[in-house]
Amino acid sequence: MNLPTLDIQRHGHVAQVWLNRPDVRNAFNEATIQELTHAFQSIGQDQTVRAVVLGAHGKAFSAGGDLNWMRAMADYSWAENHADAAHLAGMLWAIANCPVPVIARVQGDCYGGGVGLVAACDMAVAVDSAGFCLSEVKLGLIPATIAPYVIRAIGERSAHRYFVTAERMNAQRAQALGLVQEVCAVDSLDAVVDGLVHAIVANGPHAVRASKRLIRDTAGMPLTAGLRDQTARTIADIRASDEGKAGVNAFLHKTTPPWQGKAN
Beta bridge partners of 196: none
Instruction: Write the pLDDT tens digit of every residue in 93-149.
Output: 999 999 999 999 999 999 999 999 999 999 999 999 999 999 999 999 999 999 999
Could you give the CA distance from residue 147 to residue 181 in angstroms, rounded to a whole number? 19
Secondary structure class of 199 (helix, strand, coil): helix
Burial (CB count within 10 angstroms: exposed 0-12, middle 13-18, buried 19+), residue 42: middle
pLDDT score of 1? 64
What residue ranges of the chain have pLDDT lower than 50?
A: 263-264
Are 177 and 117 in contact, with CB atoms under 8 Å apart? no
Widest CA span of the chain, in angstroms?
67
User: pLDDT value at position 2?
Assistant: 65
Whole-structure pTM value: 0.95
CA angle 131, 133, 134 (to 5 degrees): 160
N- to C-terminal Cα separation, the chain: 21
The reported pLDDT for the residue numbered 224 is: 96
Half-sphere exposure at residue 59, Cβ-oriented, CA atoms within 13 angstroms: 4
Please choose, from the candidates 201, 200, 193, 189, the residue with its C-alpha nearest in 3D space to the C-alpha of residue 12.
Answer: 201
Residue 1: other Cβ atoms inside 10 A: 10
Contact 3, 43 (CB under 8 A): no
